[in-house]
Amino acid sequence: MKKVVIIAVIALLAFTYIAENYLSDYHLSVLEFLGIYAILTVSLDITNGYTGLFSLGHPAFMAIGAYTSAILTFPAMRKSIMIPALPEFLAHLELPFWLALIIGGILASLSAIVVGYPVLRLKGHYLSVATIGFLIIVQVLITNLEDLTRGPLGLNGIPPYTNLWWVVAWLLITVYVVWRVVNSDFGRVLKAIREDEIAAEVMGVPLARYKLFAFSLGAFFAGVAGGLWAHLVTAITPTTFSLPLAFNLVVMLVVGGRGSITGAITGAVLIGVLSEILRPIEMKTQAYGLTQLITAVLLIIILIRKPDGIFGYRELRLKISERRG
Amino acid sequence: MRKLALMVAVIFGVALLGSVAFAGGVIKIGALYNLTGGMSSIDAPALNGAKLAAKQVNAKGGVLGKKVEIVAIDTKTNQKEAAVAARKLISEGVVACIGYGDTTYVLAAAPLFQKAKIPFVTSGATHPGLPKMVGDYMFLTPFGDNVQAYAMAEFLIKDLGLKKAWVFTNKAMDFTLALSKFFKERFKKLGGKIVLEDFYVTSDKDFSAQIARLKNLKEKPDVLFVSATPDNAGVIVKQIREAGIWTVIASGDGFDTPVIIEVPGPKLADKIYYTTHQSWDNPAPEVQNFIKAYEKTYGRKPENAFAALGYDAAMLVIRAIERAGSTDPKKIKEALEHEKGYRGVTGAISFTSKNHVPVKDVAIMEVVKGKVKFVKMVKPSM
């Protein structure tokens, strides 16, 4: 098992090296977005797949991470022109990229705790409603906190730090952390909550605490992914991260398979690659909207034929790794 | 599962066939538009306009002896798609790019063209600060928001003699904030007075509180400047008129939509003035010929002014290629900076190396009992 993982990581790093050096800017950006989407789906899987909580809050956490890391890394010179009303301690701050990403992730995670603390005590679908509400609150705040965010115009000219190395590194960290969490005692408790909340509670599981941890862990990686996104697109507005994005992520997760890391990554890659492959057809035939149509049909077929998704609740297992070592 | 794999394989196969290299001997101009999603009502007509321009030029033998091809990508009202599609167009070797009716998407795409030193001409984004934010390869086809706001302020004071304004601003959008800001600036400079400025946000549906404040004003305004986009324009007009207020309403190109008549109904849609890029009633031959050609090609009249702006954006690029005598993006950029008085469908357009935002004529429109009438073209003093 260990060998396979090490070989896979080395292969991925070698691929990244080749891609960074030989691929066109366009193909690189496609790969970078695939990676970011994979980070998002894998982290969304913690709540939506492993714990059985249906969250639509990822775009809100991404927005928090994106704005945080953009403001923290912006060159102080340009900050004074673009966002002159910034508080003193932020105006001269110019943090390294990795630190800004982590701070963005932590802020996203803290906000998840604030929202989750009251909401996760309730049973049923309150979380999905509350996360939609939270997303709207975040958007309104970003729109109105003009001193920090430049309001509806958004921030642009964000330093383009994100490259494939950053994305792959964070993808590996995300997968590693999620893998370790869901395959620990802790992760088994999460699955127990998913399978039967009442039974888990009777067994003495403090439901709210476990749910809150799962929710805020997912939010951390969403915040980081938001930061990577901001430094890739280099422009963000209050509406960049909104509800359609949340649905997109859910679709990727459903297609790939919930409760499975391979499934989450497969879904993100499949849908991402599909839209790039269909792009030339769309351009040639001028049948714009084709991508969305085919994605929708594919989704329906998968929901009928394989309701659990391609890798529903199980991982891709190579023959060698049949017995976990 | 096997069927699924088969289907995916078929899609891949068709895609490969579809992407077989483009024929040689063409000049590729990129076009980035949101053809699906929330922005499509603005962007789809713009692309049609641009394609019409290419078609007309090609019918006359193209430019520099080559055919012009508009390479369009749908970016689905999504900034991520815009950022990826821009890179795709650059890697396909477009010599220039046009696109978008909204600043948000320009800011996701244009910096990449700036970095690659390829000119980007937006057909519909009106933020006058865009060239400053993006760089020297950024050009605007429409007038900036300052121009239309100045035009309306001058028209109200000089032509209609209205000097006391109530300003109603959507504070959740950059466009509406900028429009109000420039309007107030010029209105006050010309001796007008702002009796009250009130605010709302895009998601508001009920404006009764603000309208009540307006009604209770001691000093009655003689014009209501409503800074709005199509989302709110119709509803605000309806609620103001229903409250029994028949003061003149004025606004910018956010009012250039059928909604301002459909929502309040023809009885209440009265005494309204707004500025826009062009009127189809303008008898100028550029305008009438464009309408005819558009109708012939697409079987319907141009949906809105963005169709004409898309046409003009493509024409500006094609003319620049011709003047440059080359398809080198750098030379095209320089040629664009020497554009002098192109008589476009949306008015005369000139650029200089210092100014990439054209100062154009603004069309003033009037709504009388549900009918839109063209008043005149005006050029504000800058």
* Residues in chain B closer than 8 A to A132 (CB atoms): none
Cross-chain residue pair B4–A305, CB shorter than 8 Å: yes
Average pLDDT of chain B is 90
Q: Which residue of B has its CA nearest to A275?
A: B81
**DSSP secondary structure letter of residue B291:** H
Which of A36, A132, A156 is the mutation pick for testing B, counting most B CBs within 10 A?
A156
Q: Residue A97: what residue type?
A: F
Of B12, B90, B127, the CB nearest to A277: B12
pLDDT digits (tens, 9 = 90+) for A267-303: 999 988 988 888 888 888 888 888 888 888 988 998 8
Q: Which of B43, B64, B41, B68 is nearest to B53 (CA)?
A: B68
Distance (Å) from the C-alpha of residue A92 to the closest C-alpha of chain B?
Answer: 21
Cross-chain residue pair B84–A26, CB shorter than 8 Å: yes
Cross-chain residue pair B173–A294, CB shorter than 8 Å: no
Answer yes or no: is pLDDT of B193 > 80.
yes
Cross-chain residue pair A237–B79, CB shorter than 8 Å: yes
Q: Which residues contact B184 (CB under 8 A, 6 or more apart)?
A: B167, B194, B197
Distance (Å) from the C-alpha of residue A153 to the closest C-alpha of chain B?
Answer: 5
Answer yes or no: is pLDDT of A316 > 80.
no
Q: Which residues on adjacent β-strands are paired with residue B200?
A: B170
B264 — contact with chain A (CB < 8 Å)?
A: no
Cross-chain residue pair B18–A30, CB shorter than 8 Å: no
Q: CB of B306 within 8 A of CB of B101?
A: yes
Least confident of A96-105, A233-242, B46-55, B62-71: A233-242
Cross-chain residue pair A235–B111, CB shorter than 8 Å: yes
pLDDT digits (tens, 9 = 90+) for A225-251: 999 999 999 889 888 898 989 999 999
* Residues in chain B closer than 8 A to A158 (CB atoms): none
Measure the CA–CA gap between A27 and A29, rounded to whole angstroms.
5
Cross-chain residue pair B72–A235, CB shorter than 8 Å: no
What is the pLDDT confidence band of residue A87, given thresholds at 50, 70 and 90? confident
Q: Where exactly are the structural domains of chain B? A: 25-143+284-297+304-351, 146-276+363-378
From the CB of residue B209, how many other CB atoms can be counted at a distance below 10 Å? 11
Measure the CA–CA gap between B232 and B226, rounded to whole angstroms.
10
Answer yes or no: is pLDDT of B1 > 80.
no
> pLDDT at position A320, please?
44
**Global pTM value:** 0.82
What is the pLDDT confidence band of residue B95, given thresholds at 50, 70 and 90? very high
Cross-chain residue pair B74–A288, CB shorter than 8 Å: yes
pLDDT digits (tens, 9 = 90+) for A145-190: 888 888 888 888 889 999 999 999 999 999 999 999 999 999 999 9
Cross-chain residue pair A288–B83, CB shorter than 8 Å: no
Residue in the block written with tokens 């998407």: B105
Average pLDDT of chain A is 88
B87 — contact with chain A (CB < 8 Å)?
A: yes
Token representation of residue A262: 């391979």
Does domain B146-276+363-378 correspond to CATH entry 3.40.50.2300? Answer: yes
> pLDDT at position B18, please?
46
Domain B25-143+284-297+304-351 identical in fold to domain B146-276+363-378: yes
* φ/ψ bin of B72: left (φ > 0), alpha (ψ from -120 to 50), beta (otherwise): beta
B4 — contact with chain A (CB < 8 Å)?
A: yes
C-alpha distances in Å from residue A262, one per residue of A42, A189, A269: 9, 21, 10
B216 — contact with chain A (CB < 8 Å)?
A: no
Cross-chain residue pair A283–B1, CB shorter than 8 Å: no
Token representation of residue B19: 């992407």
B90 — contact with chain A (CB < 8 Å)?
A: yes
Return the SS3 of A31: helix
Answer yes or no: is pLDDT of A82 > 90.
no
Measure the CA–CA gap between B238 and B274, rounded to whole angstroms.
16
Q: Which residue of A has its CA nearest to B17?
A: A281
> pLDDT at position B25, please?
82
Q: Which of B378, B174, B369, B147 is nearest to B260 (CA)?
A: B369
> pLDDT at position B94, please?
95
Which of B19, B75, B104 is the mutation pick for testing A, counting most A CBs within 10 A?
B104
* Residues in chain B closer than 8 A to A283 (CB atoms): 71-73
Of B1, B74, B108, the CB nearest to A235: B108
**Percent of chain A whose pLDDT exceeds 70:** 97
Distance (Å) from the C-alpha of residue B98 to the closest C-alpha of chain A?
Answer: 16
Which strands make up the sheet holding B96-99, listed edge to edge? Answer: B67-74, B26-33, B96-99, B120-122, B138-140
Q: Which residue of B has its CA nearest to A31?
A: B84
B41 — contact with chain A (CB < 8 Å)?
A: no
Cross-chain residue pair B71–A237, CB shorter than 8 Å: no
Answer yes or no: is pLDDT of B19 > 70.
no
Of B1, B87, B172, the CB nearest to A152: B172
C-alpha distances in Å from residue B92, one per residue of A265, A284, B76, B97: 29, 14, 20, 12
* Residues in chain A closer than 8 A to B88 (CB atoms): 26, 279
* Residues in chain A closer than 8 A to B1 (CB atoms): 305-306
Cross-chain residue pair B87–A29, CB shorter than 8 Å: yes
B84-92: average pLDDT:
93
* Residues in chain B closer than 8 A to A140 (CB atoms): 201
A247-274: average pLDDT:
90
Taking each helix axis from N to C end, the angle separating A2-22 and A25-45, rounded to the nearest 10 degrees, works out to 150
* Residues in chain A closer than 8 A to B35 (CB atoms): 288-289
Does domain B25-143+284-297+304-351 correspond to CATH entry 3.40.50.2300? Answer: yes
Q: Which of B241, B244, B285 is nearest to B264 (CA)?
A: B241
Q: Which residue of A has its CA nearest to B36?
A: A289
> pLDDT at position A58, please?
94
**DSSP secondary structure letter of residue B66:** B
> pLDDT at position B175, please?
84
Q: CB of B339 within 8 A of CB of B77?
A: no
Q: CB of B155 within 8 A of CB of B136?
A: no
Fold of A2-321: ABC transporter involved in vitamin B12 uptake, BtuC (1.10.3470)
Measure the CA–CA gap between B342 and B263, rounded to whole angstroms.
37
What is the pLDDT confidence band of residue B23, given thresholds at 50, 70 and 90? very low
Angle at A39 between CA A36 and CA A40, to 5 degrees: 90
Least confident of A77-91, A189-203, B305-319: A77-91
B181 — contact with chain A (CB < 8 Å)?
A: no
Cross-chain residue pair A152–B19, CB shorter than 8 Å: no
What is the pLDDT confidence band of residue B104, given thresholds at 50, 70 and 90? confident
Measure the CA–CA gap between A128 and A57, rounded to whole angstroms.
8
Q: Which residue of A has its CA nearest to B90?
A: A26
What is the pLDDT confidence band of residue A1, given thresholds at 50, 70 and 90? low
Distance (Å) from the C-alpha of residue A179 to the closest C-alpha of chain B?
Answer: 26
Q: Which residue of B has its CA nearest to A155?
A: B107
